[in-house]
Amino acid sequence: MNCYNKPSLLCGIVLLLAMPVFSNTQPPPFDENKAQQAAQVSDPAEATRAYLDSVPVERKEKTRSYAHGNYVLDLSDFAYSSLVLIGLLAFGVSAKLRTIAQRMTRFRPLQTATYWIQFLVLTTLLGFPFTLYRSYFREKEYGLLTQAFGPWMIDQLKALALGCVFGAIFLMFLYGVLRRTPRTWWLWGSGVMIAFIILLIAIAPVYISPIFNKFTPVKNVEIRENILGMAKAQGIPADEVYEMDASKRTDRISAYVAGMLGTMRIVMFDNTLKRCTPQEIQMIMGHEMGHYVLNHVWKAVAFFSVLIVLGFLVVRWGFHRFTASRPSWQIQGVPDTAGFPLLILLLTAFLFITGPVTNTFSRTQEDQADDFGLNASRQPDAAATTFLKLGEYRELDPHPVIEFLLFDHPSGGYRIRNAMKWKQDHP
């Protein structure tokens, strides 16, 4: 959740003024001749260094500046969002939103939905200046956004509308449970959140993603048949490969295998088809198929389910302590929607503190998918050049502490070393 106001905008302006000025013309992700020379090096450590050295200095500086700015912005995001949530409580704004909702309807589920829509619109407006800076102007400055302002703004409005609808549905169920289970609300509330996450994962590929992007079958017959052949060999029930028009927003490369409960889709960015070699595409799709075959989606659901339950226990511990000592907040217990900012504050604080744990879990899954992709494609050098291309917006060789704390994917340097070790073990 992003919540900002004028001080956050001032922070964004200061960062923008302090940001190095780069040319909008993107330097190449790597020198192809140097990459070819790196492919001839047999020692994994030396080969990794050779691949990293193939990246132009300007590109390294640009990516490092972008990444380091993101670290600061992520921390600022959490800190200021927390202050906004506290402000909504301390100044009685949340209680006023609750009262307005009660005056509009006597039906309690609709009161909850009305409160949510007010809350989301208010915090979105407070956060818009910073969102504009970070997601539009800053992305433009670094050459990572190709979208014009009009279409970008339309996407923001679409996201807001979807947030109003799905958030209202979720909160109606959540607060319905909180009202009916006064002793075990934290457990049933966790269940509602977990069920809602599973529902979103299942419907997103078919019903949500098409609202933002156009999906069409991959036109290149050779690539399509190669991917479907890989999927069949790995036991993935896919009869189509989709191409997503990501180039209308960015020139980044990516792909994914998403969905569950019968909605699974294999999707490639059109940029991937345009910018990657057939060998790189094989590695990318092998990696994404690895997530499916290794049941990473369900494992992630199980992992985060445990965190959600623990997070609700933290909410249970802190909610009454805070509200009992602050009657000015006008919160009448956990079932009162006026306490929603406190519920979110406690839950997100817990998830923020446990961020290194969740990042380690995610990196482990990505590492496993890399190994799967290498075994499926047998293209270690294509893997290396793919990771260099991903290094256009991810720091390739960060400090180990930064990688441990903040990276949800292994760094490019780590992934290249892994590919080179695989290559040594599979001559």
pLDDT (tens digit, 9 = 90+) per residue, 296-342? 989 999 999 999 999 999 999 999 889 888 888 989 889 999 999 99
Give me the residue spans of the domains in the chain: 58-197+300-360, 215-297+371-425
Dihedral sign for Cα atoms in the order 121, 126, 127, 132: positive
Stated as kind and residue range, the H or E segment containing 267 is strand 265-269
- pLDDT tens-digit series, residues 223-255: 888 888 888 888 877 778 889 999 999 988 888
Residues in the chain: 427
Distance (Å, rounded) from C-alpha 383 to C-alpha 68? Answer: 25
**pLDDT exceeds cutoff 70 at 3:** no
Distance (Å, rounded) from C-alpha 344 to C-alpha 85? Answer: 8
Can you give the pLDDT at residue 26? 63
Summary mean pLDDT of the chain: 89
- pLDDT tens-digit series, residues 151-185: 999 999 999 999 999 999 999 999 999 999 988 99
As a whole number, mean pLDDT of residues 124-139 equals: 92
CATH code for residues 215-297+371-425: 3.30.2010.10
As a whole number, mean pLDDT of residues 85-89 equals: 95
Say which DSSP state 269 is in.
Answer: E
Beta carbons of 242 and 266 less than 8 angstroms apart = yes
Give the least confident one: 187-191, 235-239, 249-253, 263-267: 235-239
Can you give the pLDDT at residue 29? 84
As a whole number, mean pLDDT of residues 388-396 equals: 90
The burial of 56, by beta-carbon neighbours within 10 Å (0-12 exposed, 13-18 middle, 19 or more buried), is given as middle
Q: What percent of the chain has pLDDT over 70?
A: 94
**pLDDT exceeds cutoff 50 at 81:** yes
Distance (Å, rounded) from C-alpha 274 to C-alpha 197? Answer: 33
Q: Write b or e for each residue in 9-43: b if 16 or more Cβ atoms lie within 10 A of its Cβ, otherwise e.
A: bebbeebeeeeeebeeeebebbbeeebeebbebee
Give the least confident one: 14-23, 203-212, 275-284, 378-387: 14-23
Can you give the pLDDT at residue 8? 41
Q: What are the tokens at 391?
A: 């290094």
Q: Dump the DSSP string for 22-36.
A: --SSPPPSS-HHHHH
* Residue that is written with structure tokens 């003024």 in the block: 17
Can you give the pLDDT at residue 9? 39
**pLDDT exceeds cutoff 60 at 13:** no
